[in-house]
Amino acid sequence: MCLITSNEDLINSLKKAKDNKMQTVGFVPTMGYLHDGHLSLIKKAKEENDIVVVSVFVNPTQFGPNEDFDRYPRDIERDYKIAKEAGADIVYNPEVEDIYPKGASTFAVVDGDITKKLCGASRPNHFKGVTTVVNILFNIVMPDRAYFGQKDAQQVIVIKKMVRDLHMKVDIVVCPIVREADGLAMSSRNVYLNQDERKQALVLNLALAEAQKKCKQGNTKVTDLKAFIKETIEAQPLAQIDYVEILDAQTLDEIKEIKKQALAAVAVKFGKTRLIDNVFIDS
């Protein structure tokens, strides 16, 4: 187990490992401040690969103006210890200039409605930054498989499209959302919540789970289910809704009725903290 900060050292380490024996590389890209959701990705990667690389990099290009880049939680010593215990072989913690050399002006952009709705609507350059940094990290790590959490559902769909469109030789493995005992989806941003915000944030999972039940019971109209989710969330005085959407689970196309698997996704601010959550819904 080692902590690597330079691209060259990482590339050389992985080359030596592959030269000694044909080994598969699993990759878990993170922005750090690891929690059990990240650990589930690391453990899954360890089950399926010989070498597991975990990147810890708070990517500046996916943050917009007045977002939380500067205050995003960082603790590499903590992350290194946690990743090691979960089974990681290498923690890669580059500096910004290692990822974006001076004068860098090249981006990987997934165009179309897929990046303009949900989080892309309120964070217009977010996915441009996400796809660019993931592309760069894939080029450095050269993984056989890369592991992402379902909590960032739109991100997963966008990255899958990028990999398909650019014929990248990496398998994208999606792992289920990991939740706290009370149902709150695990997120590095949960540490921002005060006691009242934390308590009220439980409404996200509650509203989505109840919408699932209503659909199973026969109410498959998207307008009805969205209205129910909104009403339930708005009952919490600290909740400020960014979006509530129910879309096709594979394409994110708009739908009027749930006839096959759909994705119900929400983004809501509690105080200054923006949280996202989602569930799959089918009839």
Other C-beta atoms lying within 10 Å of the C-beta of residue 150: 18
pLDDT at 208: 98
Helix, strand or coil for residue 222? helix
Average pLDDT over residues 3-17: 93
Largest CA distance in the chain: 60
The answer on pLDDT for 262 being more than 90 is: yes
pLDDT at 69: 95
Indicate the residue type of 214. Answer: K
* Structural contact between residues 205 and 212, judged by C-beta atoms closer than 8 angstroms: no
pLDDT at 254: 96
pLDDT band at 224 (very low <50, low <70, confident <90, very high): very high
What's the mean per-residue pLDDT of the chain?
A: 96
- % of residues, the chain, pLDDT over 90: 96
The answer on pLDDT for 11 being more than 90 is: yes
Exposed, middle or buried: residue 77 (CB in 10 Å: 0-12, 13-18, 19+)? exposed
pLDDT at 230: 98
Sequence ranges of the domains in the chain: 2-175, 188-281
CATH of domain 188-281: 3.30.1300.10
Write out pLDDT tens, residues 112-171. Answer: 999 999 999 999 999 999 999 999 999 999 999 999 999 999 999 999 999 999 999 999
The answer on pLDDT for 22 being more than 90 is: no
Catalytic residues: 38
The answer on pLDDT for 46 being more than 80 is: yes
Write out pLDDT tens, residues 90-102. Answer: 999 999 999 999 9
Give the residue from 99, 135, 263, 271 showing the smallest Cα distance to 195.
271
DSSP letter for 271, please: T
> Over the range 251-279, which residues count as b (16 or more CB within 10 Å of their CB) and which as e?
ebeebeebeeebbbbbbbebeebbbbbbb
CA–CA separation, 140 vs 138, rounded Å? 5
Helix, strand or coil for residue 100? coil
pLDDT at 233: 98
pLDDT at 17: 81
Question: Does CATH number 3.40.50.620 belong to domain 2-175?
Answer: yes
Backbone φ/ψ region at 260: left (φ over 0), alpha (ψ -120 to 50), beta: beta
CA–CA separation, 37 vs 178, rounded Å? 5
pLDDT at 29: 98
pLDDT band at 16 (very low <50, low <70, confident <90, very high): confident
pLDDT at 21: 74
The answer on pLDDT for 18 being more than 80 is: no
Secondary structure element (H or E) that encloses residue 122, with its range: helix 119-122
The answer on pLDDT for 182 being more than 80 is: yes
pLDDT band at 4 (very low <50, low <70, confident <90, very high): very high
